[in-house]
């Protein structure tokens, strides 16, 4: 949800169960696969991008999770691990950055979400 003052709130998540390619058969609330941190981070970043374009109200974002061959469950269990998930992209992307749909949604996280306190204040007018 994007408030008039630019504050962003991720209200919930779901996971689609499909049959016959891409026909929704059911949904799980909340999602059962993937990381809440990733979903929250993508939702907040997309919300800030949309708020910067003047959108207010509700928006829906589809996220696709892929298995990461470099994933280490032991690192996930560490208390002092980096709390912000890595979002694919950045300077190593082998395409022109100007042609990427989500070129402004890159890690590392902006200060607003990097605090890790769960609170998200009003949009400050800049996109990282």
Domain boundaries, the chain: 15-114
Rounded to the nearest angstrom, the gap between the alpha carbon of residue 121 and the centroid of all alpha carbons in its chain is: 17
The pLDDT mean for the chain works out to: 71
Q: What percentage of residues in the chain have a pLDDT greater than 90?
A: 2
What burial letters (b/e) apply to 14-46, b meaning 16+ CB within 10 Å? eeeeeeeeeeeeeeeeebeeeeeeebbbbbbbb
Q: Where does the pLDDT of residue 94 fall: very low under 50, low under 70, confident under 90, or very high at 90 and above?
A: low
pLDDT at 58: 92
pLDDT band at residue 57 using 50, 70 and 90 as cut-offs:
very high
* Residue 110 pLDDT > 50: no
**99: alpha, beta or left? (left if phi > 0; alpha if psi -120 to 50):** alpha
Structure confidence by residue, pLDDT tens digits, 7-39: 898 888 888 888 887 788 888 877 777 777 888
């Amino acid at each position: 949800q994007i408030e008039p003052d630019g504050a962003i709130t991720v209200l919930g998540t779901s996971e689609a169960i499909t049959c016959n390619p891409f026909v929704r058969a059911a949904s799980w609330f909340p999602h059962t696969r993937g990381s809440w941190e990733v979903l929250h981070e993508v939702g907040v970043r997309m919300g800030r991008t949309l708020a910067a374009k003047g959108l207010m109200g509700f928006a829906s974002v589809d996220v696709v999770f892929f298995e990461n061959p470099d994933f280490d469950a032991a690192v996930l269990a560490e208390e002092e691990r980096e709390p912000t998930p890595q979002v694919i992209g950045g300077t190593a992307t082998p395409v022109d950055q100007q042609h990427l749909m989500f070129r402004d949604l890159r890690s590392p996280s902006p200060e607003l979400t990097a605090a890790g306190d769960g609170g998200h204040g009003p949009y400050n007018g800049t996109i990282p």
